[in-house]
Chain A
Amino acid sequence: DARVTQTPRHKVTEMGQEVTMRCQPILGHNTVFWYRQTMMQGLELLAYFRNRAPLDDSGMPKDRFSAEMPDATLATLKIQPSEPRDSAVYFCASGLDRAGGYTFGSGTRLTVV
Chain B
Amino acid sequence: DAKTTQPNSMESNEEEPVHLPCNHSTISGTDYIHWYRQLPSQGPEYVIHGLTSNVNNRMASLAIAEDRKSSTLILHRATLRDAAVYYCILITGYALNFGKGTSLLVTP
Contacts and interface: CB of A to CB of B under 8 A. Distances in A.
B98 A102 contact: no
A33 B43 contact: no
Contact of A103 (B32, B42, B46, B97): B46
Given A98-B34, A99-B32, A56 B44 contact: no
Interface string A41-72: 01111001010000110000000000000000
A31 B96 CA distance: 12
Q: Is the interface of B mostly helix, strand, loop or mixed?
A: loop
B93 to A, nearest CB: 7
A98 B95 CA distance: 8
Given A104-B44, A106-B43, A98 B98 contact: no
Interface of A: 31, 33, 35, 42-45, 48, 50, 55-56, 91, 93, 97-107
Interface of B: 32, 34, 42-46, 48-49, 51, 91-100
